[in-house]
Amino acid sequence: MSLEKFKDRNIGNQNYTLIGHEAFPQTSGEKFERVMKRMLKGELFVGLWVTLRTMFQALFKGEMHTTKYPFEKLPISPRYRAIHEMLRLLESGHYRCIGCGLCEQICISDCIRMDTRYDENQRKEVSEYTINFGRCIFCGYCAEVCPELAIVHGPRYETSSEQRASFSLFEDMLTPIDALKQQKEYPGFGAISPNADENIKKTPLAY
Amino acid sequence: MSNKEITVKIDGKECKSVEGEYILNVARANDIFIPAICYLTRCSPTLACRICLVEADGKRVYACNAKVKDGMEVTVTNEEILQERRAIMEVYDVNHPLQCGVCDQSGECELQNYTLELAVDSQSYAIPDTIRQNKNWSDVLHYDAGLCIVCERCVTVCKDMIGDSAIKTGPRGGEALPKEAKDTMPKDAYAMWNKLQKSIIVPSNGTDFTNCSDCGECTAVCPVGALVSRDFVYKSNAWELKRIPATCAHCSSGCQIYYETKHTSISDPTEKIYRVTNEWNYVSLCGAGRFGYDFENRVQGKDEEAFALALKAFNTAQSIKFNSAITNEEALMLQRLKEKLGVKLINHDAKAFKDFLASYSKASGKGLYGGDLKEVMKSDFVISVGASLRNDNPNARYAFNHVQKMNKGAGLYFHPVGDTLVSTFGKSVEIFTHQVGQEELALYLILDLFANKERLDDETKEYLASFHRHEKRIVKEKIMEEVSQSVTDKATGETKEVIKKVPKTIEKEIEVQINGLVEMLGGNDAFYENFEKMKSKKESFSLIIGEDLYYHPHSRNLSRLVALIEEVCDMTLVMIPPRTNSLGVAMICDLDEEESGYVIGYNEHGHFRLGSRGFSKLDIPALNQQEGTFTNINKRVVPTNAALDYHGYELNDILNALGIGMRQAIDFTPQLGRIEGFKSENFDDLPNGYTNAGEELRGYALEVVETNKEEIKVVKFDESIVINEGEIAYRCNPQRQFNDFTDRSSQINEEFGAYVSPNKAKELGEEIEVIFDQEQSFKLKVIVDDRMQGDIIAIPDYKSYQNVYGVFGRDRYKKVTIKKV
Ligand code: SF4
Ligand code: SF4
Ligand code: SF4
Ligand code: SF4
Ligand code: SF4
Ligand code: FES
């Protein structure tokens, strides 16, 4: 439908179709008569019948028209910023986070904390990582700053909890290793722009 | 460096300076920025980075090694220089691993900074990379060769300041530079790259381990994340740490440090010290200061029961025993307690020093020794008597080394315990390993060598002359002798006379001057010849004296000799206070000789113990949990801040309960002003830092007061106190151990034991019992100190509960019996 029609506000110049209707009751006797008529007509049951019929169709004929929340959720825009996820490297399965601490530093509600250490393979290990969701305002800065696309916002938007402060640990947010195949690249806030290649210069290599 | 004032113009700004100063230093002092990576203030320029390129009077020079001349005009940047600098930064970035995300230097990395500063946004150079391994050089050093940009700052500081020279550049095994580079690249960038591609840093002893003093200064100066202390690797980002300016609590140098703190972990929000950093351009730390920081005393809260007991104890006590690892404020509080309660104050380390100072003051007319370590560093001839330089005060040792390395200086080292490190400080260092008790002779020798004889009295002059004698000696000499030979030429049959030179050894009688003092002190014959060379062209002389002289049967005579030397030899004199704040305690407290009755131990042994180590009856804060001031060797009152919280009782609470306290301990700081030499400054007004020109703005300098001067009467050396037979024990700490605090620190692992030279260790076995004459004895593990020589064994005094000070009493050397166990 084009918007043209809605923008034309010259009411009165259009060709309206008049719907025929009975004459309005004039005297109080006529009014009383109309009330009584409507009352006894049984239109009410027409409405109830429609409801019953749809219910029957939905329950027994599999013609459901609504989402069964909380058992079912609507797909959400990839740019929506809900509870964080920690992604893994697709090749090795190792977590992507390198423990750089940038998310911790940039977080404006100061709700990220992490511990790191020098591990046996001479790498920086993220030994503990937490986000306090009681304070997180889902601004997405952490996902934006992360140089590894390790921390991203997932689609889990229910954030009610029994306590004011609800924490998530690294393991809670990390893609389960058996779900690695299903891990999707995050196209939302902070992801690489589609034309990223055009914006960088190549470093020469001598091999 | 002469002191002639000159003016130069840097980027149009008029700068005043003195002749002989480097352009870079002048610029820094005047807040003008010149990029520079490899230069360390106080050390020699190495020209490794070449980024400090500037134009001076139209010529390209390196700001870090070109000296200013009067009227010079310097341009810091022009198009050509900028190109050079950019190219240099690009070269540094070639094959540099892109791991800023995990790197410990990230956020304070000079490579990051200069790459950004010079707006390097693309790379034009490339070369195949070389595999470079991570190495742990020692218990504390972690070297990541991949990150190293071979600026050589670590090598330079280790050589010029520390004196270990434990690391050097070694072969990298990298490929040769691309051929066309030489013609196409900016000149300096090429030269820098050429060197960079050939080297990495390796321990200089040829092994994988540095086997050094573990001072960690190399990790401090490293501009990138290549050298990091092992404990800190990947622990925290620089920007997360809170820097607390403080003063190191361990020895009398009182170095300025920053404690860097952060919460312990996610689950534990209590603050913890992660590392200690310093202004490495102006102050060099030792391993104790750098790694001995986690000695805090954590208490749950105020233990009222213990406090009540403590109060009772103070009311019954007759003596308070303490050591000098305390602040000036604590010392003043203890003095107040003495005045209020009439208790005796016992302090082993400060008492002997105080007496020595007092007797020195009488002789010299000065309340304190004349010099400080900074002046020593500027001198070009330095002498050390009675100090185990390596252990007593690391900064005294750095100064000794610095004089050799930077001022083309010379040095004499008098000590009964041989030390293999000191002799490596420079070619003109002469070591006298004399007998115990000959310290007076050493001072007489100094008088003999350096004094303006006119200013000595006749008696002393005669006494010195009595050591000189002439002797006829037969020496062997090699000469070249000319011999003529007749040679027949085989081809022509002619015979020719040929003159040939052949070496021959002849014996010659010569008359030599013998100085009996040198002989007695164990010096060698070559000393006379060397000494002339050593002394020639030297202008300023300095003398460092140490604890051996304070703990000496003839300490009074020694103090007068020292005063005499200072007066007639024009020497800068520095005395090493035995412990952190011995100087402060000596000035603030009236100390008593012998303890008696019920003794309260304040960080020491006693009937009732107050201490900052776990096993005390009442806990008090450790020195990283206290505000206050120390009086350091440089005669400065320097402030320190509390890095960590403390929730228990402190000495001030006791004073408050007795009605003589203040609201806070630091309210005693201005009260120090009532003591001669101190000032009435509020603690919060005391600065604690350095300016860009390297000026020390820390606390305030003590005023050296004039005292009544008596005529200096020195007595002759008395042979009878020499110990030259039997086993000798020596009270001396291993490097990096100074007190209970270092002992408690997790990264300082030098053990309590008998430290001996490698040879002695072979003789002694694994464990010994050392028995003193009063029947006291220690069972000690034998620990080898590679750098010790001779037979004397060193017994540490850093553990207060072992009461080693008490056992040695007024001596530092004792005859002992050693039993193998
Ligand atoms: S920014 Fe990314 S890589 Fe860095 S610590 Fe946070 S999640 Fe890890
Ligand atoms: S040394 Fe500097 S540039 Fe190199 S990885 Fe570390 S922070 Fe980055
Ligand atoms: S380790 Fe550090 S200080 Fe030493 S040369 Fe390499 S970059 Fe320079
Ligand atoms: S720790 Fe000290 S002595 Fe050892 S290599 Fe580094 S600077 Fe030299
Ligand atoms: S122990 Fe002494 S030399 Fe070492 S850092 Fe502390 S004050 Fe400086
Ligand atoms: S700072 Fe001058 S050459 Fe490196």
Q: Hey, which residues does B629 pair with through a beta bridge? A: B639
**Shared domain check, B427 and B392:** yes
Residue B122 in tokens: 């693309």
Do B417 and B335 have their domain in common? no
Q: What's the domain count of chain A?
A: 2
Q: Which of B98, B100, B102, B131 to mutate to test the interface with A (most CBs of A within 10 A)?
A: B102
Q: Look at residue A41 and tell me if it is in a domain.
A: yes
Measured from the Cβ of residue B412, the count of other Cβ atoms closer than 10 Å reads: 25
**Count: domains in chain B:** 3
CB-closest option in A128, A129, A207 to B128:
A207
Decide if B236 and A99 are in contact by the 8 Å CB cutoff: no
DSSP code for A109: T
Residue A152's domain spans which residues?
Answer: 84-190
Residue A18 is given by DSSP the state P
Instruction: Please tell me the distance from the alpha carbon of residue B752 to that of residue B772, in angstroms, as a whole number.
Output: 17
| Amino acid at residue number B692 | N
Tell me the C-alpha distance between B450 and B569, whole Å: 6
The answer to whether the CB of A78 falls within 8 A of the CB of A67 is no
Rg (CA), chain B: 30
Asked if residue A99 is part of any domain, the answer here is yes
What spacing in Å lies between the alpha carbon of B142 and ligand 1's midpoint? 24
Residue-wise DSSP of B169-207: EEE--PPPPPTTHHHHS-HHHHHHHHHHTTEEEEETTSS
Query: What one-letter code names the amino acid at B142?
Result: H
Among protein residues, the one whose CA lies closest to atom 6 of ligand 5: B289
Phi–psi pair at B639, nearest 5 degrees: -85, 150
Q: What is the CATH number for B543?
A: 3.40.228.10
Helix ranges (H only) for B227-345 are 287-291, 304-316, 328-341
| Interface contact B101-A207, CB threshold 8 A | no
Average pLDDT score, chain A: 88
The answer to whether position A3 is within a domain reads no
Same domain for A55 and A91, yes or no, is no
Q: Which of residues 16-45 of A touch B (CB under 8 A)?
A: none
- Of the residues B106, B266, B268, B275, the best mutation for testing chain A's interface (the one with the most A CB atoms within 10 Å of its CB) is B266
10 Å CB burial of residue A194 (0-12, 13-18, 19+) is exposed
B477-515: per-residue pLDDT in tens?
Answer: 777 777 777 777 766 677 777 777 888 787 878 777 888
| Facing residue for B266 by CB, picked from A100, A130, A147 | A130
Nearest CA in chain A to B238: A101
Q: Is residue A127 part of a domain?
A: yes
Question: Among candidates B337, B236, B279, which has minimal Cα distance to B610?
Answer: B337
> Does residue B369 sit in the same domain as residue B459?
yes
Asked if the structure places residue B222 within a domain, the reply is no
Tokens 């290793």 sit on residue: A177
- Residue-wise pLDDT for B619-674, tens only, equals 999 999 999 999 999 999 999 999 999 999 999 999 999 999 999 999 999 999 99
If asked whether residues B341 and B364 sit together in one domain, one would say: no
Per-residue pLDDT for A9 more than 70?
no
- My answer on whether A126 and A177 are in the same domain is yes
Residue B568 maps to a domain: yes
> What is the model's pLDDT at position A79?
83
Q: Please, are residues B22 and B6 in contact by the beta-carbon 8 Å criterion?
A: no
Q: According to the model, what pLDDT value does residue A201 have?
A: 86
Looking at the fold, whether A57 and A24 belong to one and the same domain comes out as: yes
Residues B410 and B543 in one domain: yes
Percent of chain A with pLDDT over 70: 93
All residue ranges of chain B with pLDDT < 70 are 1-2, 490-492, 614
A37-50 per-position pLDDT tens digit: 888 888 888 899 99
In a domain, B315, yes or no: yes
Question: Half-sphere exposure of residue B508, counting CA atoms within 13 Å on the CB side?
Answer: 10
Q: Does B124 touch chain A (CB under 8 A)?
A: yes
pLDDT of residue B528: 80
The pLDDT value given to residue B503:
80
Domain region containing B627: 304-347+589-701
Element (H, E) at B778: strand B777-784
pLDDT in tens, A134-183: 899 999 999 999 999 999 998 888 888 888 778 889 999 999 999 999 99
Partners of A104 on chain B (C-beta within 8 Å) are: 240
Q: Is the ipTM of this complex over 0.90?
A: no
Residue A25, preceding bond cis, omega within 30 degrees? no
Please check whether residue A114 is in contact with residue A101, taking contact to mean a CB–CB distance below 8 angstroms. Answer: yes
Can you give the pLDDT at residue B680?
Answer: 96
The predicted model gives A86-114 an average pLDDT of 95
Number of CB pairs, chain A paired with chain B, less than 8 A apart: 57
Residues A91 and A146 in one domain: yes
Sign of CA dihedral B543, B548, B549, B550: positive
Say yes or no: A53 and A134 in one domain. no
CA nearest A119 in B: which residue? B234
Q: Does residue A1 have a pLDDT over 60?
A: no
Return the SS3 of A112: strand
**DSSP bridge pairs for B783:** B755
Question: Could you tell me the CA-to-CA distances from B631 to B130, B256, B681, B761 in Å, in that order?
Answer: 51, 12, 14, 38
- Using the Cβ of B265 and the Cβ atoms of chain A, whether some distance falls under 8 Å is answered with yes
Q: Are residues B459 and B384 in the same domain?
A: yes
CA distance B676 to B705: 7
Q: Which of the listed residues B147, B149, B151, B239 should we mutate to test ligand 2's pocket, taking the one with most ligand atoms within 8 A of CB?
A: B147
Res A13 pLDDT > 80? no
Q: Residue B156 C-alpha to ligand 3 middle, in angstroms?
A: 10
Specify whether B687 is located in the same domain as B762. no
The two structure tokens encoding residue B234: 């990947």
d(CA B620, ligand 1 centre) in Å: 41
Which helix (H) or strand (E) segment holds residue B446: the answer is helix B439-450
CB burial of residue B47 (10 Å; 0-12, 13-18, 19+): middle
Alpha carbons B820 and B376: distance in angstroms, whole number:
43
Asked whether B10 and B52 are in contact (CB, 8 A), the reply is: no
Torsion over CA: B155, B159, B162, B168 (sign):
positive
Whether residue B30 contacts residue B47, with contact meaning beta carbons closer than 8 Å, is answered with no
List of E strands, B91-249: 134-136, 141-144, 167-171, 199-203, 227-229, 242-247
Whether the CB of A132 is below 8 Å from some CB of chain B: the reply is: no
Domain shared by A61 and A121, yes or no: no
Q: Are residues A56 and A133 in the same domain?
A: no
Ligand 4 atom nearest B219 alpha carbon: 6
d(CA B218, CA B228): 9
Interaxial angle between packed helices B555-568 and B348-364, expressed in degrees from 0 to 180 and rounded to the nearest 10 = 50
Q: Which of residues 147-176 of A touch B (CB under 8 A)?
A: 147-148
**A61 and A157: one domain?**
no
Contact flag B234-A116 (C-beta cutoff 8 Å):
yes
Amino acid at B207: T
Number of residues written out for chain A: 207
Query: B709-736: string of b/e by CB count within 10 Å (b at 16+)?
Result: eeebebeebeeeebbeeebbbbbbbbbb
Interhelix angle B187-196/B79-93, nearest 10 degrees: 20
Do B15 and B26 form a contact (C-beta atoms < 8 A)?
yes
- For A99, nearest residue in chain B (alpha carbons): B102
Is B418 part of any domain?
A: yes
β strands within B658-725, DSSP E: 688-690, 696-698, 700-701
DSSP, res B410: E
Same domain? For B437 and B543 the reply is: yes
Task: Band the pLDDT of A6: cuts 50, 70, 90.
Answer: low
pTM of the model: 0.90
Dist. CA B786–CA B760, nearest whole Å: 11
A61 with A90, same domain: the answer is: no
CB B237 within 8 A of CB B107: yes
CATH of the domain at A109: 3.30.70.3270
Write down the pLDDT at residue B140. Answer: 96
In Å, how far are B238, B620, B650 from B303, measured between CA atoms?
Answer: 37, 11, 11
C-alpha gyration radius of chain A: 30
pLDDT, one tens digit per residue, over B196-252 is: 999 999 999 999 999 999 999 999 999 999 999 999 999 999 999 999 999 999 999
Tokens representing residue B170 in the block: 């070694």
User: Is residue A27 domain-resident?
Assistant: yes
pLDDT of A7 reads 67
* Cβ contact, residue pair A100, B102, below 8 Å: yes
Residues in chain B: 821
Identify the residue among A106, A115, A170, A172 best suited for mutation to test binding to B, counting B beta carbons within 10 A and taking the highest.
Answer: A115
Residue A126 and residue A169 in one domain: yes
> Is B128 in CB contact (< 8 Å) with chain A?
yes
Could you tell me the CATH number of the domain that includes residue B798?
A: 2.40.40.20
Distance of CA A45 to the CA centre of its chain: 39
Q: Which residue has the tokens 């030279």?
A: B757
Residues A32, A117 within the same domain: no
A111 CB near ligand 1 (under 6 Å):
no
Tell me: do B568 and B594 sit in the same domain.
no
- From the list B597, B599, B600, the residue with the least C-alpha distance to B618 is B600
